[in-house]
Chains A and B, each alone.
Chain A
Amino acid sequence: MKLLIAIIQPDKLDEVHEALVAAGITRITASRASGQGRAQEMELYRGTEVAASRMPKVRLEIALNDEFVQPCIDAIVRAARHGEGERGDGKIFVLPLERVVRISTGEEDRQGI
């Protein structure tokens, strides 16, 4: 089992979510995040362009059985890209996951995900 954490741009959330559902991954957690990566984005403030710091991002957390890890990565990469090689589209981290418990039933691990 793996825990996948993805940082993506907020405007791609719906596209990524739809791609995940299409890949059979329906249980996700999304939250707001702020961060600074390689991108140097410009924002418009009262008609003036200013350099943005700590841009708003969306953080996805998805617990996955092993066979779903690659399809999940593929779906996110495909849907979250604004263009080939464009900076600021985000990152995906895959972490080992030790144990999962579903609160309502007490089911664990493979069944619990």
Chain B
Amino acid sequence: MRKTMFAATAALTPTAAWAGDVMALPEDSGATAWMLASTALVLLMVPGLAMFYGGLVRTKNVLGTMMHSFAAMAIIGVLWPIVGYAMAFGPTQGGFVGWDSEKFLLSGIDTTWIPILDETRRIPEYVFAMFQGKFAIITPALIAGAFAERVRFGGYALFIALWSILVYNPLAHIVWGGGFLTGEAIDLAGGTVIHISAGVAGLVAAVYLGARHGYPRSAMHPNNLVMTLMGAGLLWVGWFGFNAGSQVSSGLATAQALTMTQIAASAGALSWMGLEAALHRKVSSLGMVSGILAGLVAITPAAGHVQPLGALALGFAASFVCYGAIALKNKLGYDDTLDVFGIHGAAGIFGAIGLTFFLRDTPEHGLATQLWFQVKGVLVAGGLSAVATLLLLVLVDKTVGLRLPHREELAGMDHALHGEHGYGLMNVN
């Protein structure tokens, strides 16, 4: 997370690589407070995502879809302190994954501290570990949008548990935790680790599982766009913790990341509004929130390293990229239900590569080398996610089963899987 290749020697994570005596640094209560707040803000994005996704599916699947996000809080929320943090931020084992028995069950970090970004002060390691844990939770929850309305709950639970261990933890280690891309690819808050990996996993899963019954011939209307808009609002607010918190400090760098986040989100929203006004003569609320997300995803890797003009450009262009990606999906005919690849994959790739052209400081090794580092990051994240996701899909599908049986898909997940219905308030009872 705190990799800046401008301080390439200090590019490793606080815990993995800092050679100095952390206890000699003064405590930073300001950074601790902001990191605690950021941790809570990123967790708020998960129910935000549940509302965002939940509103977009059909009435019969609203609870099942929201449960995908909430289940990630339960499953990854347990796995992360047990093995996730040790795998992502332990000392590297060959560049691909970390491990540290001291971090297993977080047993060794009860009283430890880590330096903040500029290494002048220290914050408790717990707050860093928990902040990172929220990213681990939201990433598999993002994937669920690609196969919404057609998976078994048990199969989904097993899939995200395995995906977190075999894809997310190694990737977080490779890019942030001291693995082989640490200090090369610029990825402030997870353009590659989170959005590209989730987007590509979603694409692979959507193609592997096949389309929903009736897609694309029958209209499948969102059951509650009001809830989707509220969810998008929560995501936008939470994203300030996501990006600005990723600076692991409370100061100038935090303010820079927060500013770029705000600018890119607005630019993305405005750009999508313009696109729809020009092409359809109507600006839709779903288009508005799609633009917000496109801008936010694109600025995620870049927020600490570009200036307002760059944030405007990335946010503005991201909506065009995502709009095109979704149009292409409709041509190709695969059923990425809630456009996980169309938004997170496409804007993630665009932001990771596009940021090279708007950097605040030109790196010593030159822009061409940096561009190669960015492309390498995209290829590694996309490649690892694609291959491992496919293996896990086959494994889960052949053992416990992942695709919902036809009858249950028609009946809807809420009734078939959870024995509940989402909108009891519409019925006298």
Residues of A within 8 A of B (CB): 10-12, 14-15, 18, 32-34, 43-44, 53-56
Contacts and interface: CB of A to CB of B under 8 A. Distances in A.
B415 to A, nearest CB: 4
Interface in B382-429: 407, 410-412, 415-416, 419-421, 424, 426-429
Contact of A34 (B411, B412, B419, B429): B429
A44 B426 contact: no
A54 B419 contact: no
26 contacts: A10-B421, A11-B60, A11-B411, A11-B415, A11-B416, A12-B411, A14-B410, A15-B410, A15-B411, A18-B410, A32-B426, A33-B427, A34-B427, A34-B428, A34-B429, A43-B419, A43-B420, A44-B420, A53-B429, A54-B427, A54-B428, A54-B429, A55-B429, A56-B421, A56-B424, A56-B427
Contacts of B412: 11
Interface in B59-87: 60
B416 A32 contact: no
A-B residue pairs, 8 tightest by C-beta: A11-B411, A14-B410, A11-B415, A34-B427, A34-B428, A56-B427, A44-B419, A54-B429
A36 B415 CA distance: 18
Given A14-B410, A18-B410, A56-B429, 7 more contacts: A10-B60, A11-B60, A11-B416, A14-B411, A32-B426, A54-B428, A56-B427
A8 to B, nearest CB: 12
A10 B421 CA distance: 10
Contacts of A34: 427-429
A32 B427 CA distance: 7
Interface residues on B, range: 10 to 19
Contacts of B429: 34, 53-56
A10 B420 contact: no
Interface in B15-73: 60
A44 B420 CA distance: 7
A53 B415 CA distance: 17
A69 to B, nearest CB: 25
A49 to B, nearest CB: 10
Contacts of A54: 427-429
Contacts of B410: 11, 14-15, 18
Contacts of B424: 56
Nearest to B418: A44
Contacts of A33: 427
Contacts of B426: 32
Contacts of A32: 426-427
Contacts of A10: 60, 415, 421
Nearest to B409: A14
A3 B311 CA distance: 61
Nearest to B407: A15
Max chain A C-beta neighbours (<10 A), residue from B416, B427, B428: B427
Nearest to B415: A11
A15 to B, nearest CB: 5
A33 B427 CA distance: 7
Contacts of B419: 43-44
B28 to A, nearest CB: 43
Nearest to B414: A11
A34 B428 CA distance: 6
A18 B428 CA distance: 27
B298 to A, nearest CB: 38
